């Protein structure tokens, strides 16, 4: 997948990992539809999940 790793994290939860400005960042998601579509290679789902990771890390961890 295009700069996105999806790992099962628990019942209905997935850890999604990407690289942003050379730094590996991640979040946990419960969006089963987006995860399934991303695993099928649908670009809109991959972009949606990457955007979710980046936004949550900017909000909670203060990356620039």
pLDDT tens sequence across 17-61: 999 999 999 999 999 999 999 999 999 999 999 999 999 998 776
Containing domain of residue 35, as a range? Answer: 5-61
- What pTM did the predictor assign? 0.86
Total domains in the chain come to 1
By DSSP bridging, strand 5-10 and strand 13-20 are antiparallel
**Of residues 43 and 63, which shows the higher confidence score?**
43
- Provide the 3-class DSSP secondary structure of residue 32: helix
């Amino acid at each position: 997948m295009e700069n996105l790793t999806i790992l099962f994290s628990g019942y209905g939860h997935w850890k999604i990992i990407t690289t942003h400005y050379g730094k590996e960042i991640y979040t946990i998601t419960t969006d089963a539809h987006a995860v399934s579509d991303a695993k099928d290679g649908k670009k809109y789902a991959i972009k949606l999940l990457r955007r979710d990771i980046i936004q949550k890390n900017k909000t909670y961890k203060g990356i620039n």
